[in-house]
Homo-oligomer: A and B are copies of this chain.
Amino acid sequence: MNYAIIGVGGIGGYYGGLLAKANKNVQFLLHSDYEFVKQNGLQIDSKNGDFHLDNLNVFNNVKNMNPADVIIVCVKTTNNHLLKSFLPHLVKNDSLVVLIQNGLGLESDLQKEFPDINIVGGMAFICTQKIGEGHIRHLDYGKLTLGLHTPKAKDLFDSLTNDLIDAGLEIEIAPDLQSARWRKLVWNIAYNGTTVVLNTDTKQLMDNASTRQLVTDLMIEVMNGANACGIQYPIDETFIQQMLNMTENMAVYAPSMKLDFDHKREMEIERIYSRPITEAKKAGYEMKKTATIEQQLKFINSHY
């Protein structure tokens, strides 16, 4: 199987780097770091051991790439409009497109544009970021949860997970993708926007009684929204308690949206906030506290 990695930031650099390190055939599509990585390779500082990769197959133009069996999309959802022009150059019959992203409706929207491709949803439970040109720092965690969106691709999906496990990754197979996507939103909706609006971090939110209650309230709204949407594996309060405990035991942490905000990049409001709010509303549940954060984020996003 050969691979194409779209986007080489914290996620794409780390997961793609591990595949390349395991001698898989990997093409990397880069943007701003192309020249640097072509000259100097990719440096990954990981809590599981640092490594350096030279002579990678790097590209700065998708037209020069070869079709791949597996295309792993690691850009922000705010760039998903690019897939419309990228994928025709990369897919062949039975290619698998893996969206390692956060939020709702990603797979169904892409399947509408490309009815024949096979899609897998991926959720990275990882603290990793790009700290310089061609330089990734992996701080903590690393589990990748995968769920099949297009049922006919079951065999290819199994080959992919085997390769990723070979590469040293911890892989979890979600028995139902929508249930897994909503579960990930429990944490993302609670912390991503709140750290941005209050310009703070997870630790300060947990140390203050009011905001600790606010993140709890937001998690409960996500649970209620998800369950109203009829996900196959409903979320219960035990899961919320687990998320709160996990966050309390984490180091001081800036969620991905807070990093986007700090670097004045567009925030993933649409997929992480607006889409879940809309889906829940259609199912008869109003996520009012979540909608307050969404409205505040849209204001902030337009005032950079």
Q: Are A295 and B204 in contact (CB under 8 A)?
A: no
A280 at the interface (CB under 8 A from B): no
A85 at the interface (CB under 8 A from B): no
A245 at the interface (CB under 8 A from B): no
Indicate how many identical chains form the complex. Answer: 2
Question: In the assembled complex, how far is the CB of residue A74 from the closest CB belonging to chain B, in whole angstroms?
Answer: 29
Q: Are A302 and B208 in contact (CB under 8 A)?
A: yes
Q: Which listed residue (B214, B298, B303) contacts A295, Cβ 8 A?
A: B214
Which A residues from 165 to 212 make CB contacts under 8 A with B?
197-198, 200, 204-205, 208-211
Q: Which listed residue (B198, B213, B289) contacts A288, Cβ 8 A?
A: B289
Q: Which listed residue (B200, B204, B295) contacts A210, Cβ 8 A?
A: B295
Chain B residues with CB under 8 A of A205:
299
Chain B residues with CB under 8 A of A209:
298
Which A residues from 200 to 250 make CB contacts under 8 A with B?
200, 204-205, 208-211, 213-214, 217
CA distance A293 to B289 in the complex (A): 9
- Of A204, A213, A291, most buried by chain B (CB within 10 Å of CB) is A291
Question: In the assembled complex, how far is the CB of residue A144 from the closest CB belonging to chain B, in whole angstroms?
Answer: 33
Contact with B along A284-304 (1 / 0, CB 8 A): 000011011111101110110
Say whether, besides A204-B303, A303-B204, A197 and B298 are in contact (CB < 8 Å).
Answer: no
What are the 6 tightest A-B residue pairs by CB atom distance, in nearest-first order?
A: A210-B298, A288-B288, A214-B295, A292-B292, A210-B295, A211-B299
**Chain A residues proximal to chain B, CB less than 8 Å:** 197-198, 200, 204-205, 208-211, 213-214, 217, 288-289, 291-296, 298-300, 302-303
The 27 sampled A-B contact pairs (Cβ below 8 Å) are A197-B198, A197-B296, A198-B296, A200-B303, A204-B299, A204-B303, A205-B299, A208-B298, A208-B299, A208-B302, A208-B303, A210-B294, A210-B295, A210-B298, A210-B299, A211-B298, A213-B295, A214-B295, A214-B296, A214-B299, A217-B292, A217-B295, A288-B289, A288-B292, A289-B289, A289-B291, A289-B292
